[in-house]
Amino acid sequence: MKIDRSEFLNEYTDEAQELINKFSDSVRQLSKVNTDSELIELILRTLHTLKGTSRMMGFSSIEKVVNALEDVYKKIQSGNIVPDDNLTYICTGAANILGDCIAGIKKDSKEKVEKFEPLVKNLELASLGENFETDFFAGETDCSAQEDETDFSSVQTIRVGLGSVDSLVKCFDKIITNEFRLKNSVCKIEELSAAEQKYAQMFKTIKEDMNMLERQIFYTQEQIISMRMFPLDMIMRTLRHSAEEEATRIGKEIDFEIPSADISLDKLILEKLPGIIIHLVRNSIDHGIEPPQVREQLGKNKRGKISIEAKQVANRINIIVSDDGQGLDFDKIRKKAAALFPSRIEEISSMDEKSLQQFLFVSGFSTLEKQTSLSGRGVGLDGVRKEMDKLKGRIRIFSERGKGTSFELSLPMSLAAQSGLFFTASSKKFLVFSHYVSEVVSCCESKLIQLRNGTFLPLRNELLPVYDSSIFFGKADTQNSRKKSRSIVVVEYLGKRLGLLVDEVTNYITVLVKPLPPALKKFRAVQGVVFDEDYKIVPIIHIPDLMSRLNAIKDFEVKKIEVDNRKKEYSVLIVDDSHTTRQIEKMILETEGYAVCEASDGIEALEKLKSGSFDIVITDIKMPRMDGYILIENMRRLDATKNIPVIVISSVYEEDTKKRVAECGAQSYIVKSDFERGNLIMSVKELLNGI
């Protein structure tokens, strides 16, 4: 199956233009020194990357021009020809023509190739040291002149590195914290000076200025955070293609409704979202949608329907994956749960449907009798739950037997800023994310019911289990514990609810979250920290871990259920200096369920191989700092990596190169001009089957 390269067109044109500019600058620099082996090597690497990416994207005319330029600089490298003004002129002219071609591709996806034929012909003459013509450049403008004539008034976008945006976010974190402290100090001074009438107007003015400053700061914060957000539609088209392919593979007729949505999400969330959604879609295809003949017998349209809808609710995004299939079979779920947890048969037999849903997220749980190519291994929804927890998200299930199932994902728009409730317990301050909070109830202790298995609060036709926060956060404050009325924060996770009896809920606020330091990464009870108005560190309570500790969700025990036929998730390391190439290969592999990590050259790849565990490596040959040959040779010398299979994907197609790659220890070689989804996946599967 061919790759839909249009998804990567903008990324390709941006990267190609950067490479062309880099080449043009290097050519001019070389003309001043004539011999500089490092500079010539840089030019050849730049051309190699441009050629390989163009070949993968199917732009063969660009590939021919770049190949001719490569021949010229290989001859310069070997000393067969010496660069002069004429050679510099034709090479910089070639850069201008390539730049025009890239601009044309960006505009209408078509190569502008009118001058390619004479250009390639004369570059070939130049590489042979023969006389060549440059008359065909008539009308072309020199790169530097072209830059001087650029109409900057028409430029609507600039490229900003995510590192710069992250630095701005961190700076604003400090500004907001200082603004909180200043506001708090002003309030305290105002209280102390309330009796002095002469200060009243002054403090009124200061307070108004503070409120205006606060509004401006938060508005600017929103604008900065939005700089690292990307439209949700970027992933939706790819998801449709993947879903249709999965349905065709198992012979089900399904219509997919994925309407466009004018919604943007944090890049970090958007990177993880395709894997989450495709798991849910696979679940609907395999578990939900009935075969065509069964649907017709039930009076349904023989073509099933799966829809993916996205909508914004306040500062969160809700994504709903729905199908019109058979719905959840709770009798099967109950039976399977009882078989997996025999010690809890009595409890499971009395559970309502909402409580039974939690078992679907247990590792190893599946109601399918047999594995299929899509599911039956019990790893899908467990993986979804884990990823949603990492993204500070929430997942809910709505199902009706015979009519279908919906999975609702609730995600923050950004991982940087989160909404939450500050509360105090045992004279300490804590924060809980608002997406876990269902409601806050003010309650007298006389309303609590003491039963044999715990404390409960009657709340709208349910008995809500209630736990005093002092059992987690230390000895209760005597003064607060004597209050006639205390607050109960009702939290919910995977359909299970409980109440936390706290001293006081102080305020609802949007804050910038700071991750835990590396030494505390494994401390799961705390999800991160924030600063309050007094610049004091406030821990964020990790509700899933807290509920697990309370045994409120007994499925998530430390001991995982091992499934004999559980499929291993293989990890792949992609090594290529072209970002576009890495993204194409990553998309193909992740669609097939592989975990993918990236490196831009051999040195970075070796560092990742030493710190992580990989089942296979896919690498280019020509890269900066360390090329593919040396990378493979180093891998074969190390005990930890000597047996890892290696696939080489390169634009070089000479037999000598293939032979050298094999001698270094690579097991497979794919030329980028022959590169397709099928031959990459086939090579990966063949090599991994031998592990």
587-620 per-position pLDDT tens digit: 788 777 788 999 999 999 999 999 888 999 999 9
CATH code: domain of residue 669: 3.40.50.2300
Last residue of one domain, picked from the residues 363, 385, 412: 412
Within this chain, do residues 188 and 257 fall inside the same structural domain, yes or no?
no
Residues 402 and 432 in one domain: no
183 shares a domain with 128: no
379 — pLDDT class (breaks 50, 70, 90): very low
pLDDT value, residue 408? 94
Tokens of 186: 């002003």
Residues 240 and 328 in one domain: yes
User: Do 66 and 99 contact (CB within 8 A), yes or no?
Assistant: no
Q: Which residue, 549, 580, 612, sits at the end of a domain?
A: 549
d(C-alpha 128, C-alpha 78), whole Å: 12
Asked if 315 and 391 sit in the same domain, the reply is yes
**249 plus 380 within the same structural domain:** yes
Contacts of 594 (CB under 8 A, 6+ apart): 569, 570, 571, 572, 684
Cα angle, residue 376 at apex, residues 375 and 378 outer, rounded to 5°: 95
Which of 120, 131, 78 shows the shortest CA–CA distance to 98? 120
Q: Which residue has the higher pLDDT, 192 or 622?
A: 622
Q: DSSP class of residue 286?
A: I
Q: What is the dihedral of CA 108, 113, 114, 118, to 10 degrees?
A: 170
Instruction: Kindly state whether residue 493 falls inside one of the protein's structural domains.
Output: yes
**The pLDDT value given to residue 474:** 63
Report the mean per-residue pLDDT for the chain.
80
Beta strand residue intervals within 562-619, DSSP E: 571-575, 595-599, 616-619
Contacts of residues 540-545 at CB distance under 8 Å and 24 or more positions apart, as own/partner, are: 540/420, 540/430, 540/431, 540/432, 540/433, 540/513, 541/430, 541/431, 541/432, 543/432, 543/433, 543/436, 543/491, 543/493, 544/389, 544/493
**Could you say which of 118, 136, 154 is where a domain stops?**
154
Q: Does residue 606 share a domain with residue 502?
A: no
Q: Say yes or no: 105 and 211 in one domain.
A: no
Residues 94 and 180 in one domain: no
The CATH number given to whatever domain includes residue 426 is 2.40.50.180
The CATH number of the domain holding residue 34 is 1.20.120.160
The mean pLDDT of 186-198, rounded to a whole number, is: 66
Residue 477's pLDDT is 56
Report yes or no: 409 and 391 within 8 Å, Cβ to Cβ.
no
- Considering the domain architecture, whether residues 260 and 395 belong to the same structural domain is answered as yes
**Does 558 fall in a domain?**
no
pLDDT for res 283: 85
Q: What percent of the chain has pLDDT over 90?
A: 19
Pairing of strands 485-493, 437-444: antiparallel
**Rounded CA separation 606/610 (Å):** 6
Q: Alpha-carbon distance 339 to 367, whole Å?
A: 11
Q: Establish how many alpha carbons lie within 13 A of residue 536's alpha carbon, considering only the half-sphere containing its beta carbon.
A: 9
pLDDT of residue 633: 93
CB 329 within 8 A of CB 401: yes
Instruction: Give domain status of residue 487, yes or no.
Output: yes
563 occurs within a structural domain:
no
**Is the same domain home to 10 and 83?**
yes
- Identify the CA nearest to 431 among candidates 554, 540, 284, 520: 540
Residue type, 491: V
Reduced to 3 states (helix: H, G, I; strand: E, B; else coil), residue 236 is: helix
| Mean pLDDT of the region 147-165 | 53
Reply yes or no on whether the pLDDT at 373 is more than 60: no
Amino acid at 523: F
pLDDT of residue 272: 83
In a domain, 437, yes or no: yes
The count of residues in the chain is 691
Q: What's the domain range around 450?
A: 417-549
Contact 62, 98 (CB under 8 A): yes
- Please compute the mean of the pLDDT values over residues 661-684 and round it to a whole number: 80
Lookup: tokens for 347: 């409890």
**Structure token digits, residue 69:** 């330029």
Burial class (CB in 10 A: 0-12, 13-18, 19+), 228: buried
Whether 566 is covered by a domain: the verdict is no
Q: Which two tokens stand for residue 304?
A: 């099933």
Residue 8 has pLDDT above 80, yes or no: no
231 falls within a domain: no
pLDDT at 647 over 80: yes
- What does the radius of gyration of the chain's CA atoms come to, in whole angstroms? 31
pLDDT range class, residue 304, cuts 50, 70, 90 = very high
Phi, psi of 398 (to 5 degrees): -125, 125
276's tokens? 């989450």
Within a domain: 675: yes
Do 144 and 44 fall within a single domain?
A: yes
pLDDT of amino acid 658: 85
